[in-house]
Chain A
Amino acid sequence: MEYPYAVEMLNITKRFPGIVANDNITLQLKKGEIHALLGENGAGKSTLMSVLFGLYSPEEGVIKKDGQVVEIKDPNDANALGIGMVHQHFKLVECFSVLDNIIMGVEPCKHGFLQKGEAREKVLALSEKYGLHVDPDALVEDITVGMQQRTEILKMLYRDNEILIFDEPTAVLTPQEIKELMQIMKNLAAEGKSILFISHKLNEIMEVADRCSVLRKGKYIGTVEIKNTTREELSRMMVGRDVEFVVHKEPAKPGKTILEVEGMTVASKSHDNNAVKGVSFQARAGEIVCIAGIDGNGQTELVYGLTGLEPLKEGKITLEGQDITHASIRRRSTMGMSHIPEDRHKHGLVLDYTLEDNMVLQRYFEPQFVNSAGFLKRKAIREYAAKLIGQYDVRSGQGPVTVARSMSGGNQQKAIIAREIDKNPELLIAVQPTRGLDVGAIEYIHRQIVAQRDAGKAVLLVSLELDEVMALSDRILVMYEGEIVGELDPKATTVEELGLYMAGAKREGK
């Protein structure tokens, strides 16, 4: 009888200073199955994959390929064993064609000259076989994200990889593209490829996977057959408790206009074109306005313009009737603008500061925290931090004096949210507030955002997650290539329609 497992990671333990990232984890990937690896951020998924690729060597445990113990010292070893991976952030050369990217590193050569003809035939055959439609001669920078991903998949197939790892592959895709990807994965599995699908999106796992292994806090929780399980059970395994999926909220009661944006234009850092092109919108008290769109369509720059991190090229911003177009960041903040930033490590926290110092990052200059001689009131800061930690359930090793870097992503985010909400803002700008968080933390953060709305604040939510957009928003503005191409009512629209707007296939008035 044929050996059933393509690759096995048995009793893997990997320690880092201070933590056990993988504690006796076993993962067995059957031949021809789609095996999901589920776990919240910091559960040890990435570490486990790095062990498989030879980037880390585990302290304990063995890796077997087809039943034979193998030693993987670096990614080349993994490649030689037929293990390939599509990273969350693609590793493509932008100014190369699709074909060049696929053959890169394993170029067919004769006497030092490239033999692209052969390669092209092989690529076309593969793309035909698995339904991976690409244009081999298009430059990567000109093609859609979906096609870039297909290019990455073809890269693995071109190298005759048998074990394919997909790391959070749907994060950057539109609903239509996600559907397509699911079909591709099923085709690949049907052709005998073994697929490891890393995700925290339960719906996708339920749809496509055969089995699912769950990690929690570096520990192996178990492996279940998807057909014998439910979404609820999976989330319980991942988080360790029951989770509510539905966001409960009353209909919005919008009040006066808090934020008014007219003709905002923001330059782009990466190209000559403007990233935000003459955008106008309003946000009123007591409503959640959601900016939806695929990553990189100007949402980031829109928020930078609003918060003052980038200057406007043109346009006007009014906050509660006052013109803040040229106001400093500090002035906007003290006037009642709170900002939960997209990148919590880059902007949101000083990672080497303690939790208490991070808690007062927006208020340390207020008289309650600093005396007239410029000395910080340490006691007041600690008390304030302790209050927020209790109120918002921010968990950490040593309470207020924990170094922020050592906290989990979810708790770091909770700390930022506590800080920004406790400022009692009139306008809360939340950018991807639940990115990379587990369902438990997401549930909590969603409730906080709805509570802010119900307290009469204006909330501007920028999100790439369609489920989040549909669940939270009272009004959806879709951004595509720097413009707002549609305003939708979440109650009257569908995910599919939203997807069409996001992909630029549909726009209002045209």
Chain B
Amino acid sequence: MKKEKTSLLRNGAVQSLLASLLCILIGLVVGYVALLVINPAGAGEAILTIIKNFMTYSKSTAQLKYLGSTLVKTAPLLMCSLSVLFAYKAGLFNIGAAGQYVAGVGASLYCALAWGMPWYVCLLAAIVAGALLGAVSGLLKAYCNVNEVISCIMLNWISLYLVNMLLSTVKEEASPYTLTLSSTNPGAIMPSLGLGALFSKNQYVTVAIPLAILVAVVVWVILEKTKLGYELRATGCNKFAAKYCGMKEKENLILTMAISGALASMGAALLYLTGFEQWQCTQSAVPAMGFNGIAAAFLGGLNPLGSILSSYFIQHITNGGAYVDKTMYSAQISDFISALIIYLCGFVLFFKVTLNGYLDRRDEKRKRAEQTAQEGGDAE
């Protein structure tokens, strides 16, 4: 049989990438229009500032340093997007990544500050805490038929206030922030392995970043190459078929939520064990990181490798937003623009359908042209 040549545009990954880029582009344009409406004078500059992020610095050493800072915060975002993605592939919507992230903060910082554990123990503690929290939602769904979205949202708040209580025991006396790792337990800071030096001695650039990327690859391998991934994706695509062929749906469901939770809480450890941030024990809102993970997962086309790019992008414009002139625009402007882009992600499918329709028509025309050419040839 003759193998038909297929257009590169037919490739699913290429389509996802194109669609995501289109979302970003339209999002930036709409964002620009919104900035124009708010304050026409600074709109052009503001949008450029957001896109440029660390490039606003003229010195290359400063640029590198702040690229490093963006990367430091990309790692946890990537982990949260992997968490959402992993559950989503198995047909679950883990809106609890935010709460699992908080549990990761609590477990890792408490181990580091109260017990003086080394970083790898703290990291493990965070993973276990998130896995347990995820498993609770999984258990509730498997045995009590509680929708995971409901239980996750409630657990988000439960974990936030529990962690606030827990970490209040290791906070500074004069402020609501937890003690710094560098003053209390330097052994809990993740090793830099010389990576910091590459980014103009940015001390917060550690193994956390390559570790997060490694996890993304591992998640991809698990989902695509292993028996476990085969079962989880089958359950996600069609749980009835999964049951029909004897997959253990309940066990798989709990396992999925546990792994998903572990990914999110590991993300928290990858940020807090660099010493980049301290936890504010009076926090009354779940940190946005877990929810942004949902956005990053979808913008990345629900592909673990796509998540790496999308997480970086979202973090890039979020950081960029910090440089916008605050006298003209409010501090939330970058959140606003990333929200626009994410909103436009809804058009990814629309874009794919339109593109495929166009390709179909083109192929058909070509076929018809070939046919008439052939018929013409036969007639001669």
Partner-B contacts on A (CB < 8 A):
15, 17-18, 20, 307-309, 328-333, 339, 341, 346-353, 357, 361-362, 364-365, 370, 374-376, 378
Contact = CB atoms under 8 A, between A and B. Distances in A.
A488 to B, nearest CB: 30
B249 to A, nearest CB: 10
Contacts of A331: 246
A353 B246 contact: no
Interface in B223-237: 225-228, 230, 233-234, 237
Contacts of B225: 375-376, 378
Nearest to B249: A329
A147 B238 CA distance: 36
Contacts of B326: none
A246 B120 CA distance: 72
Contacts of B246: 308, 328-333, 362
Contacts of B244: 307, 309, 329, 339, 341, 347-348
A353 B237 contact: yes
Interface string B200-228: 00000000000000000000000001111
B360 A18 contact: yes
A17 B360 contact: yes
**Closest 8 pairs between A and B when the two form their complex, measured CB to CB:** A330-B246, A329-B246, A347-B244, A352-B237, A361-B245, A370-B227, A350-B238, A374-B226
Contacts of B360: 15, 17-18
Contact of A374 (B227, B240, B245, B248): B227
Contacts of A364: 227, 230
A302 B228 CA distance: 31
Contacts of A374: 226-228
Nearest to A349: B241
Contacts of A329: 243-246
B44 interface: no
Given A17-B357, A18-B356, A375-B226, A350 B234 contact: yes
B353 interface: yes
B245 A376 contact: no
A346 B240 CA distance: 6
Contacts of A378: 225
Contacts of B248: 330
Interface of B, helix, strand, loop or mixed by DSSP? helix
A399 B228 CA distance: 25
11 contacts: A20-B364, A308-B246, A333-B245, A347-B240, A348-B241, A350-B238, A364-B227, A364-B230, A370-B227, A374-B226, A375-B226
Contacts of A370: 227
B230 A362 contact: no
Interface string B339-362: 000000000000001001100100
The residue among B226, B227, B230, B244 with the most chain A CB atoms within 10 A of its own CB is B244
Nearest to B361: A15
Contacts of B227: 364-365, 370, 374-376
A370 B228 CA distance: 10
Nearest to B3: A398
A351 B245 contact: no
Contact of A351 (B226, B238, B243): B238
Given A17-B356, A330-B246, A348-B244, A376 B237 contact: no
A303 B124 CA distance: 47
B119 to A, nearest CB: 28
A17 B364 CA distance: 12
How many interface residues does chain B have, given as a range?
Answer: 20 to 34
The residue among A328, A330, A341, A350 with the most chain B CB atoms within 10 A of its own CB is A350
Given A329-B244, A346-B240, A349-B241, A357 B356 contact: no
Given A333-B245, A346-B241, A350-B238, A376 B230 contact: yes
A349 B244 CA distance: 9
Contacts of A328: 246
A365 B248 CA distance: 12
A349 B238 contact: yes
A365 B242 CA distance: 13
The residue among B225, B227, B245, B364 with the most chain A CB atoms within 10 A of its own CB is B245
B238 to A, nearest CB: 5
A331 B237 CA distance: 23
A262 B340 CA distance: 63
A64 to B, nearest CB: 27
B226 A347 contact: no
Contacts of B241: 346-350, 361
Given A17-B353, A17-B356, A376-B227, A353 B234 contact: yes
B226 A376 contact: yes
Contacts of A307: 244
Interface in B79-121: none
Nearest to A358: B241
B355 to A, nearest CB: 10
Contacts of A347: 240-241, 243-244
Contacts of B357: 17
B234 A309 contact: no
Given A350-B238, A375-B225, 5 more contacts: A17-B360, A20-B364, A328-B246, A347-B241, A361-B234
Nearest to B357: A17
B24 to A, nearest CB: 25
A374 B225 CA distance: 9
A18 B247 CA distance: 33
Nearest to B352: A17
A340 to B, nearest CB: 11
Contacts of B247: 330
B8 to A, nearest CB: 16
A356 B355 CA distance: 27
A24 to B, nearest CB: 13
A467 to B, nearest CB: 28
Contacts of B242: 350
A307 B246 CA distance: 10
A365 B231 CA distance: 10
The residue among B238, B356, B364 with the most chain A CB atoms within 10 A of its own CB is B238
A328 B234 CA distance: 18
Contacts of A376: 225-227, 230
B338 to A, nearest CB: 29
A18 B243 CA distance: 31
A333 B247 CA distance: 11
